[in-house]
Structure 1
Amino acid sequence: MARTPSPGGLSRRDFLAAAGATIALPLFPGGSLANVPAGEALHGLSAFGDLKYPEGFGHFDYANPDAPKGGTFNFQPGYWYFNQNVLTFNTLNAFVRTGDAPPRMEVCFDTLMVRAYDEPDALYGLLAEHVTLSEDRNSFTFRLRPQARFHDGTPLTAEDAAFSYMLLKEKGHPQLALPLTELNEAVAEDEHTLRLTFSGRQAPRNILTVTSNPGYPVFSKTFIEENGFDSSRLVPLLGSGPYKVGRFSAGRYIEYDRVEDYWARDLGPMKGFNHFGRIRIDFYRDRNAGFEAFKKGDTLWREEFTARTWTTGYDFPAVREGRVVQTQIPQEKRPLLYGFVPNQRREQFRDARAREAISLCFDFEWTNRNLFYDVYTRSHSFFQNSPYMAEGLPSPEEQALLDRFRGQAPEAAFGEAVIQPVSDGSGRDRVRLREARRLLMEAGWTPRDGILHNEKGTRFTLEYLVRDEIFLRTDASFTENLRAIGIDASIRLVDASQYQSRQTGFDFDMISMAIGMEATPDADGLDQISHSRSAGVEGSYNFSGTADPVIDALIGIAGQARTRDELTVALKVLDRVLRARRDWIPNWHSANHRIAHWDMFGYGDNKPDYFFPVESLWWHDAEKAKAIGKA
């Protein structure tokens, strides 16, 4: 197991001391789900009380209950959760910190509620028919559907749900356990009534996080007690969801078989989804091998993340014959954070001037033109392409909030929103490199034998950890620029399991990472990325090691917002401060998904705005498959 490195010369307790120094500020008035009535049995919840679908609705507008069932969907996932790995797997438990699990294991499990993908933050009851809130918003009572069943036919009860919540709090993956920190108890009041009670210190909209998919599954208590809950065995946990684990070979492939008698198939939140008879994922440790499998028709659907392949690689017979099609589908209306992440647990990255110097060495303009065929746009924000992205000077409302942090937040946060500077496109912009070197010398680094050293005589080293050979090509010029200003920089390629272990344990100098956020970011999600309480928790998303009481306070203010306008102001100010701190170095983004697939699928025109789970929305079209010889 990789050990979480403590910052040089500091204990973890010292490093996280900022968590205990959170600035005391008056918050926006109100509390959790302030617009949601207490004492009333509700079929759904949303952050600000707005629900599109009435009780007893037939199906979501973007679902298709008339789509045919059957066929196999063999695809290469573009996103994954928790301890999942797209390159290999060695466990079938996707809800613990250790091990590498296959993507989409979550389709085997049901949650109390499910998200509506055409609303920014609405949940509707799945296992839970209704939920009732206490006046203080610290207790939530769920009435479970009596027809809920596990795959072995046994009833799913409130006792199973209560057991699952306490299990995840104690042993779950940190991304699941952290939001349950303030859960005091999960109690089965009777066979079908579950009560979750929190301390009052939880994030105000915490309940929206801890009751919905893809996390927070309900397990069989009996099964877990008999089989354990860890990553040591390739034994699928008993679930109740629309799919269950079928055939698999560790590290090579896994199949999920549709459950024909799935208990919730005709309920409004699930009707019109999960049409494929089988979902299969093959694992390729090499990106080129995965592409070759697609070209041969072994893989049927893929999202193309390599610009060169998208631009030059799709000139093979199946494309020319029209059997494989390329299309671009608009991205969802959700913030996506993608960038380089210097690890502030390491002494050389703790000064913001050093992090800014590193950012100046990355020449996006040259990289985009020479390596990416100009398909990307430079990112600047932690909430890129969302209403929460700060732009220009602060509005009066933003300024009023910023002023509370005078003398504590970086001065750069109070002016124009920090943006990444434009280079001359040469790949070696001397003006920017001179500025980078100046910043490092100002931060206490001086050259010795061509390498920068601090006053202790320690060299400035930077090992950029990657898990795919493509980064050796795309980031080589970046590394050369780092070396040009005196940083002892290198790129290290490691295998998938080692990368996962080192990333989880924060055992790296710098990585690149993409994190998709909810359309309405909540305090739990933001805590995972930037709050001091997650900086020392292995497996969290706080890869940068951010531990700043100003950030903690702003996350708290965002969590307390009673209206979307208040939330937007708080997140824009948070964005300004994070950008001024240079915690991440934003890279790039694309307006569209680049999709390639064999032309044998049906899909609706009504793509939801906030999520795109193609494996549950598309279906097998037998006529199309026959026409291209894939029947």
Structure 2
Amino acid sequence: MRHWMICSALIACSQVATFAHAEHAYALWGQPRYAADFKHFDYVNPQAPKGGELRMVSNLRYSTFDKYNPFTIKGSPPAYLADMLFETLLAPSLDETATGYGLLAEDVHVPADGMSATFRLRPQARFHNGKPVLAQDVKYSYETLLSKYVSPGYKTLFAEVDSCDVLDDRTVRFRFKKPNRDLPLTVGAVLPVFSRDWGLGSDGKPKPFDQVVVDTPIGSGPYKIGPVKFGRDITYVRDPSYWGADLPVRVGAANFDRVTIKIYKDNTARLEALKAGEFDLMRINSAGDWARRLTGRRFDSGELVKGAFENKLPSGFQSFFLNTRRPQLQDVRVREALGLAYDFEWMSRQMFYGAYQRVHGLFGNTACETHGSPTEAELALLKPFEASLPPGTLGPIGQPPRTDVGDGLRGNLRRAQQLLAEAGWTLKDGALRNAAGEPMVIEYLDSGDSARLISAWSRNLEKLGITLKLRNVDYALYQQRMDKYDFDIVTLNVPGTHNPGQEYAELFGSAAADQEGGSNYVGLKSRAVDSIIAQMAAAKSEQQMLPACHALERIIVQGHYLIPQYYSGTHRMVYDAWRLALPGQIPAYSPGELWAVYTWWAK
């Protein structure tokens, strides 16, 4: 993410490595928005006062936490812990895409061959225990996150990183297996850095990382863990000695002395607590709540305000994920038929108050979004695998079925019946059965409150002879079953990106399909997908990246591995206008609550 020219000789490790042409930032495409001498990001208030408390509520699926380690596979960490306590070598800005500015690193060098990225750490960078952040800590963090105790997503993310080398106390170099413009940004802005002292045993030796559970994390961020009601509420307190307060990437940020995250077991309890003044900020995920239930004295007085903050974030792809490891979901015609029974237009009218738009694929609201027929560049990526591609991949990209045009739902269900019959399923004794006489029964796994959201879909599937069973479990069992891919269908909301890369191998790559605790939930194994993701990650320009993005999206869409749901182009948040102030400029790529945590302040 930054550019450095390495001197011809790197002296012995005990000496300091020197560089020429080191850069303050790294931009994936083009030039960084902010010059080397910038004072602060445009979307912050550099005069924002420090102090006060922000009280929030956790909107995470799980209602409690049982550990402080956010990286290990087992257990649930507190909301926002990783964002509050750990820092990266580079920090993104919220008003541009694919750019990182020096945070722990004061500069970065990526040579012309793209085979490495070298970061020089700031001499003032300090962990919460007062020790300096050193290159050995970066290497330790990197190697720990590749261990067997950590989510395998990190292994996939860093699969093309060959090594992490300590050049001297403050200089670390990541070597890559092949040129990849995205990797400097990945290792720079994604890799969390923590102290080697975190998790030391009584003998002074590091414990196995899976045994680092409730040990207080030692990060370098502006906040530390404060008062805790373990398993319930947690407060993060601003470190008055925070080393980076005057950095351009931190000026006007981290303004609250305390950020308290409260936990409530259900949505009704959260809403009533908001109205009662229990907290100051809440993101609203329910269209019904936003339209009808945010009422009362505190709203009437203007104390509580509904803020719909528009953004230019990718739409992501919240979808039903269909597990093709299950025999009944292996036929693409069956998967397409299930999608034909999903009536989004009815849900939009009756349940969502028109607040959401339909997801169309993987890359909505970005340059990667795919339209029409494949270009010659896309065909060059797809045709070598033509025999194994889903039907229609080389034609115009499919769109989610609609029920407000043509023959509507009735026509969609007739088409679904035809597809199911072609796949060998027939209606007998009121149930859809295969050649062995087994009925089609599909389980929808959930740990929340999805009964209302799938009820209409379930009724439509019944018309086809398909039984959709809702299995609601607690979060611990839900996570256990997800880790083992023990489900038929789940809903997942995957955030989008303007610059997709190696992370998509974790979602759809063959190697991830058999990794317990991984994220290839659909179980896809495809040489075409593997090849295309590799080319997408290795693209040296946006012009090279886009055909690979489009080719991948075509395969996933035409393979009906996902049934697209919906998204909102706004962050809907209720906040206490008497206690909180916010900057006048809303950054285009604001992440919602974390934007408030880091750039708002107490009145």
Compute the TM-score of the two structures, normalised by the length of structure 2.
Answer: 0.90
Residue 461 (structure 1) shift: 2.0
Give the direction of change, closer, same or farther, for the CA distance of 1:424–1:122 in structure 2 (3 Å limit). Answer: closer
Name which of 481, 499, 502 aligns with 1:520: 499
Measure, in 2, the Cα distance between the counterparts of 1:427 and 1:481.
15
Asked if the contact 1:169–1:181 (Cα under 8 Å) also holds between the matched residues in 2, the reply is: no
Match of 2:237 among 250, 254, 257: 257
Q: Are the counterparts in 2 of residues 110 and 239 from structure 1 also a CA contact under 8 Å?
A: yes
Residue 197 and residue 395 in structure 1: after superposition, are their counterparts in 2 closer, same or farther (change >3 A)?
A: closer
Deviations 1:345-398 (A, max 9, x none): 111111111110110111111111111122222221211222211123344554
| Contact kept? 2:315, 2:359, Cα under 8 Å | no
Query: What corresponds to 1:629 in structure 2?
Result: none
Alignment partners' CA distance in 2, 1:331 and 1:466: 29
Map of 1:437 onto structure 2: 417
Cross-structure match for 1:100: 76
2:321 is aligned to 341
- How far apart in 1 are the matches of 2:399 and 2:70? 37
Contact 1:63 1:617 in 2 (8 A): no
Partner of 1:541 in structure 2? 519
Which residue of the partner structure matches residue 619 of structure 1?
600
Give the secondary structure class of the aligned counterpart of 1:362.
coil
Specify whether residues 144 and 37 from structure 1 end up closer, same or farther in structure 2 by C-alpha distance, changes over 3 A only.
Answer: closer
Q: Secondary structure at the match of 1:406?
A: helix
Offset, 1:131: 2.0
Secondary structure of the residue aligned to 1:194 is strand
Q: Rate the CA distance shift 1:231–1:330 in 2: closer, same or farther, 3 A.
A: farther
Taking structure 1 as reference, are residues 154 and 560 closer, same or farther at Cα in structure 2, changes over 3 Å only? closer
Query: How far is the alpha carbon of 1:204 from its aligned partner?
Result: 4.7
Give the structure 1 partner of residue 225 of structure 2: 245
Letter of the structure 2 residue corresponding to residue 154 of structure 1: K
- 1:167 aligned partner: 144
Partner of 1:16: none
- More off after superposition, 316-325 vs 372-381: 372-381
* Counterpart residue number, 2:369: 389
Residue in structure 2 matching 1:579, options 547, 550, 557: 557
Shift of 1:274: 0.7
Q: Which amino acid aligns with 1:63?
A: V
Name the SS of the counterpart of 1:73 in structure 2.
strand
Partners in 2 of 1:174 and 1:63 — Cα distance?
35
- Please tell me whether the aligned partners of residues 99 and 231 of structure 1 are also in contact (alpha carbons under 8 angstroms): no
Cα displacement (A) at 1:234 = 2.4
Match of 1:63 among 44, 47, 52: 44
Selected match of 1:75 from 48, 51, 56:
56
Q: How does 1:326-337 map to 2 (within 5 A)?
A: 326-337=306-317
On the 8 A contact 1:110/1:240 being kept in 2, the answer is: yes
User: Any stretches of 5+ residues in structure 1 without a counterpart?
Assistant: 1-32, 623-631
What letter matches 2:518 in structure 1? Answer: S
**Kept after mapping to 2: 8 A contact 1:69/1:619:** no
Query: In 2, distance between residues paired with 1:544 and 1:617?
Result: 35
Distance in 2 (alpha carbons) for counterparts of 1:589 and 1:553: 29
- State the partner residue of 1:370: 350
Rounded to whole Å, the distance in 2 between the matches of 1:216 and 1:517 is 19
Change (3 A) 1:115 1:86: farther
The reply to whether residue 566 of structure 1 matches residue 544 of structure 2 is yes
Alignment CA distance shift 1:474-1:179 (3 Å): closer
Deviation readout 1:537-593 (Å, 9 max, x if unpaired): 233332212221112222122223222233223212322221111111111122222
Residue 13 of structure 2 corresponds to: none
Counterpart amino acid of 1:150?
A: F
* Higher mean C-alpha deviation, range 166-175 or range 297-306: 166-175
* Pair 286,365 (structure 1): closer, same or farther in 2 beyond 3 Å: same
Residues in 2 aligned to 1:334 and 1:36: alpha-carbon distance in whole angstroms: 28
**Range 129-138 or range 476-485, more displaced:** 129-138
Quick one: structure 1 residues 427 and 68, their matched pair in 2 at CA, closer, same or farther if it must change by over 3 Å? Answer: farther
Contact 1:451 1:460 in 2 (8 A): yes
- The question of 1:155 aligning with 2:132 is answered yes
Distance 1:526 1:91 in 2: 28
Moved more, 140-149 or 450-459: 450-459
| Aligned counterpart, 1:144 | 121
Compute the RMSD of aligned alpha carbons.
Answer: 2.4
What SS is found at the alignment partner of 1:230? helix
Q: Distance in 1 between matches of 2:312 and 2:481?
A: 30
- Matching residue of 1:353: 333
1: CA distance, partners of 2:484 / 2:245: 40
Aligned to 1:279: 259
Q: CA deviation at 1:189?
A: 2.5
Q: How many pairs does the alignment contain?
A: 579
What's the CA shift for 1:449? 2.9
Tell which deviates more after alignment, 346-355 or 178-187. Answer: 178-187
Does the residue aligned with 1:281 lie in a helix, a strand or coil? strand
C-alpha distance in structure 1 between counterparts of 2:174 and 2:274, whole Å: 46
Aligned residues with identical type, % of pairs: 32
Give 1:189's aligned residue. 167
1:241 is displaced (CA, Å) by 0.7
Partner of 1:407, secondary structure, is helix
Alignment of 1:51 with 2:29, yes or no, is: no
181-190 vs 546-555, greater mean Cα deviation: 181-190
Q: 1:577-616: per-residue Cα shift (whole Å, max 9, x none)?
A: 2111111111112222222111121111222222332233
Deviations 1:168-189 (A, max 9, x none): 1113322223222344432323
Amino acid at match of 1:581: G
Give the match's secondary structure for 2:392.
helix
Question: Which structure 2 residues correspond to residues 88-127 of structure 1 after superposition, within 5 A?
Answer: 88-106=64-82, 107-127=84-104
Deviates more, 1:129-138 or 1:304-313: 129-138
Write the deviation string for residues 138-179 of structure 1: whole angstroms up to 9, x where unpaired.
Answer: 333221111111112122211111111111111332222322
Is the Cα contact below 8 Å between 1:603 and 1:617 reproduced in 2? no
Please name the residue that 1:87 is paired with.
Answer: 63
* Contact preservation (8 Å) 1:258, 1:277: yes
Give yes or no for contact 1:139–1:196 (8 Å, CA) kept in 2.
yes
Amino acid across the alignment from 1:91:
K
Question: 1:395-406 to 2 correspondence within 5 Å?
Answer: 395=375, 397-399=377-379, 401-406=381-386
> Retained in 1: the 8 A contact 2:402–2:408?
no
Secondary structure of the residue aligned to 1:220 is coil
Displacement of 1:312 in angstroms is: 0.8
Q: Secondary structure at the match of 2:461?
A: helix
Q: 1:37 to 1:143 in 2, by over 3 A?
A: closer
Question: Secondary structure of 1:594's partner?
Answer: strand
Contact 2:582-2:601 within 8 A present in 1 as well: no
1:504 to 483, 502, 506: 483
Secondary structure of 2:502's partner? helix
Alignment of 1:587-602 (within 5 A): 587-599=565-577, 600-602=579-581
Alpha-carbon distance in structure 2 between the residues aligned to 1:136 and 1:222: 36
AA aligned opposite 2:65: F
Q: What is the one-letter code of the residue matched to 1:358? A: L
1:120 and 1:86 map into 2 onto residues whose CA distance is 30
